[in-house]
Amino acid sequence: MKFNNSPIGIFDSGLGGLTVFKEIRKMLPCEDLIYFGDTARVPYGNKSKETIIRYSSEIFKFLTDKGVKIIVVACNTASSLALDDLRRNASVPVFGVIEPGAKKAVRASHGKNIAVIGTSATIKSRAYSIAIHKEIESLNGRAGGKPKSAGSFRIVEKACPLFVPLVEEGLLNEEITKNAINYYLSSVIAEKPSCLVLGCTHYPMLKDLILDAAGGNIEIIDSGVETARAVRDYLKENGMLKASGPSGGELFFVSDDMEKFKELGEKFLDRAIKNVSLAEIAK
């Protein structure tokens, strides 16, 4: 059964997934999109794996009940801890944000160091390191020749816990934000990485400042952009793209505080947000 005209479901613990939503909208302008932000239970980073799996499963059911044809877990924490469980019994394809970013990092690294920045929870999980090494193993298996050595470069990971609150406070161009970026990234840049993965969906809001701090000599990898590409390619390859027509519709659901979500979310999307509803999913 084809689901060409069914919507794409996207969810996050709160606002950050809107950067992924934005990239999917750019690449798939005709698709209908449904976004769920779990604003009542944010952040996920200080929750147990079992709790994150439970939260993600509840949202997954909410979105599948809306008839989505694919679900994007636009949250690094949920992608690292709940993705396998969601996929195990999923009736629709499920995409996370870590695998696409890791694949791009391997292609961009040319055997040199790869840097990953993210929240403390994501960095502690080593999810990107694991995904990067898996991608190298996969490439070696497909190549059938001399394997690329996983030990010829280092993966430099750095937690940047202040970035999320600085973004949500709207301090994008303030001196305090520039100082925080320099503080966290100085040791990372000293390792001379060939590319830097933005391992948190809030971080694209700081992309230009991060590039400036890195001296412009590094490729910035936005996992949201890579995820959007992966979703587009999958839908195209499987005949699931919505037929061309007018711009796709958008629905936004949150588990708490619709007004705050709308106010801050419009800064993420650089445009007005309409059709925000409260979903009584969080207990």
Enzyme catalytic residues: 75, 200
- How far is 206 from 198, CA to CA, in rounded Å? 10
**Local structure of residue 241 (DSSP, 8 states):** P
- How far is 264 from 42, CA to CA, in rounded Å? 14
- Residue bearing tokens 């996929």: 87
Residues 6+ apart with CB under 8 A from 182: 213
* Helical residues (DSSP H) of 11-119, grouped into ranges: 18-27, 49-65, 76-81, 83-88, 98-109
Please check whether residue 162 is in contact with residue 202, taking contact to mean a CB–CB distance below 8 angstroms. no
| Strands 70-73 vs 94-96: parallel, antiparallel or unpaired | parallel
N residues, the chain:
283
Start-to-end C-alpha separation, the chain: 34
3-class secondary-structure state, position 90: coil
The residues facing 32 across adjacent strands are none
Please check whether residue 213 is in contact with residue 158, taking contact to mean a CB–CB distance below 8 angstroms. no
C-alpha closest to that of 78 among 170, 157, 16? 16
The residues facing 254 across adjacent strands are 37, 278
